[in-house]
Structure 1
Amino acid sequence: MIRLFVSDLDNTLLNHEKRVTEADQAALRTLEREGVILCLASGRMDKELTRIAGEIGINAHRISQNGAFLYTTENEKLSSAVFPGELARQLYQEALPFGLSCFINQENDMLVKAKTPEIRAIEQRMKMPVKEDPHVPEQIGHSILPSKLCFFGDLETIKKLEQHINTKYRGQLDTFISDKDCIDFMPYGISKGAAIEKLIDRLGLKAEEVACIGDSFNDISMLRMTPHSFAMAGADPAVQKEAAHIVHSVAEAARWVLDFNRNRQATESGLDEERMQKG
């Protein structure tokens, strides 16, 4: 039986207008009514996940900022992570020559040094709240301990930055290309998959009792952890190959989960009846 359903947000549960379709909302509510536990897993901040779950009308565990923070439906914090101060400062400085737009994440704030036209466009497109503070750079590692560093810009430049950082700081952080124009720097060992492992340990579940759906490279860690994995049809082929199924919507994946559970229940009922007859 599949007992936990985990969904990414951007370009998975959230469409290009950053909204959840009525069909996907109904599908999640149906899963919940059928006894499947829900979880949202995203690079976004926890308060955004809380808002989206409330708008849909579901109770969901929450994995935010690619696994940096994990909350239960009862708002119990199971884990949190931030960069060591000196490393955060170094990463910020190393990225400056690449000319990308930098967003510094804390648990409930996304900070920028200045709202440039490029950053305002990203803020509008992503529908995410951003705070401007000209003193951010000198505060990194002191009053600001980032849980995630995001860099937006040209994909080729992003790949060059990723190569540079992974070469110079190998084993000190994890990097994920999370969108067509975004890379996330995360504290080492932090990922959606690692957070799900902690959650299922708390819930007493096994990996084969989990289904998950996503579309980007920061979803691969969770796609790899369960045989019931779904990648969106619009995902990069390198992401799709990590999933057991390709779907066009969360609703399609949810229907598969419901059918799987009903078939498993029917099989188990048949076996029980056979045992009773033999007994």
Structure 2
Amino acid sequence: MKRKILVTDIDGTLSHGEIVHPHVIAACDRLRNHGWEIMVATGRILATAIDHIKSIGAWLPAVVYDGARLMEPLSGKVLWEATLPTDVVEEVLHIGWQVPLEMQIFTDESAICRKTDEETRRFLTRANVLVDDTLQTPHVTERVFRIIFYGDPREILRFEEHIGAVLGDVVDVMRSGDDFLDVVPIGVSKGAALSWYLERLPIAPEVVVAAGDHCNDLALFDEAHIRVAPEDAVPQILERAHIIMPSVKKQGFVHLVDYLLSGRWSDGRGSKRVVL
């Protein structure tokens, strides 16, 4: 039997916040019991994604750090990773230092920020992530996989345009939410990490279904046979989706699982749009 793989984003697609709805958990159990495998592709680090991964039984390697790392979910073993060059990190930090946005610098399952980055420190500390909040100058010595800027969506849009114009040839910049901007190594994306994994499988899967809701899921869509978006996804994602499912608030993932188990996905392989 050929493999069937569902790859899903977490925030805004699978769940809101830290709790996966019990109906979604049960649906994922049914999906796995019928031979499907589940994989997570998220902007989160493994430490903040692991509870979601365990809830839905996503035992395939996890795409984390918005694609900068591919990790075994239970052991934490790194299968693939990419870091930002030290000089590029400093350029990004210099450019963003005075921008009215919080800064999150992700190293190996830990983070660096400033004392003033209060929301960052609060969220990561609640998630039991080690946070060094003593950063006083735009300079770090640790390996950096990803830098996030967080805050007012209007400032995010302005900063996205600015940093893209200045450093667009050495970093990839993408929005992972209205108030989040990710800066990752050039060529890094959820889709690139998924492609790396799929290329190393001995036999290509029968079908890869990808579910996501924001711009950082566009590259993930490129690697999927069938693309799925919640009804409240950003326009760029909705335009490319083959399947539109209800929002997280309506446990849209349950509807998606029901559809996949019905077998109707094999009729046309995403050649026509389906609204669940």
Give SS of 1:44's match. coil
The TM-score with structure 2 as length reference comes to 0.84
Does 2:34 align with 1:31?
A: no
Q: Distance in 2 between matches of 1:168 and 1:233?
A: 34
Which residue is 2:82 aligned to?
Answer: 81
For structure 1, the 5+ residue unaligned runs are 265-279
Deviates more, 1:87-96 or 1:57-66: 57-66
- What is the root-mean-square deviation in Å for CA atoms of aligned residues? 2.6
The answer (yes or no) to whether the contact 2:13–2:211 under 8 Å persists in 1 is: yes
Deviation at 1:252, TM superposition (A): 1.8
For residue 263 of structure 2, what is the aligned residue in structure 1?
Answer: 260
Q: Which of residues 144, 147, 158 in structure 2 aligns to 1:146?
A: 144
Matches of 1:127 and 1:134, distance apart in 2: 19
Distance (whole Å) between structure 2 residues aligned to residue 214 and residue 182 of structure 1: 15
Change in Cα spacing, 1:185 to 1:171, as seen in structure 2 (3 Å) is: same
How far the C-alpha of 1:138 sits from its partner, in A, is 5.5
Q: Secondary structure at the match of 2:181?
A: strand
Give 1:103 deviation, angstroms.
Answer: 0.4
- CA contact under 8 A between 1:18 and 1:127: conserved in structure 2? no
Higher helix share: 1
Q: Deviations over 1:157-215 (max 9, x none)?
A: 11111111111112211111111111000101110001111111222454761001011
Maintained 8 Å contact 1:2/1:211: no
Distance 2:143 2:150 in 1: 20
Provide the residue aligned with 2:165 in structure 1: 167
Question: Match of 2:238?
Answer: 240
Structure 2 distance, partners of 1:165, 1:52, is 32
Residues 96-137 of structure 1 show CA distances to partners (whole Å, capped at 9, x for unaligned) of 23221000011301221215444456658x967461331464
Summarize deviations over 1:134-164 as a string: whole Å, max 9, x none: 1464552x2x221000001111211111111
| Alignment CA distance shift 1:64-1:174 (3 Å) | same
Q: 1:129 to 1:188 in 2, by over 3 A?
A: same
Where 1:63 maps in the other structure, the secondary structure is strand
- In structure 2, runs of 5+ residues without a counterpart are 247-251, 268-276
Query: Contact 1:115–1:132 at 8 Å: present in 2 too?
Result: no
SS at match of 2:98: helix
Deviation at 1:254, TM superposition (A): 1.9
Higher mean Cα deviation, 190-199 or 109-118?
Answer: 109-118
- Hey, which bits of structure 1, 4+ residues long, moved more than 6 A? 261-264
CA change 1:151–1:73 in 2 (3 A) is: closer
Identity %: 22
Give the match for residue 92 of structure 1. Answer: 93
Query: Deviation digits for residues 22-61 of structure 1, max 9, x if unmatched?
Result: 1111121222111112101101111233332224445232
| Corresponding residue pairs, total | 260
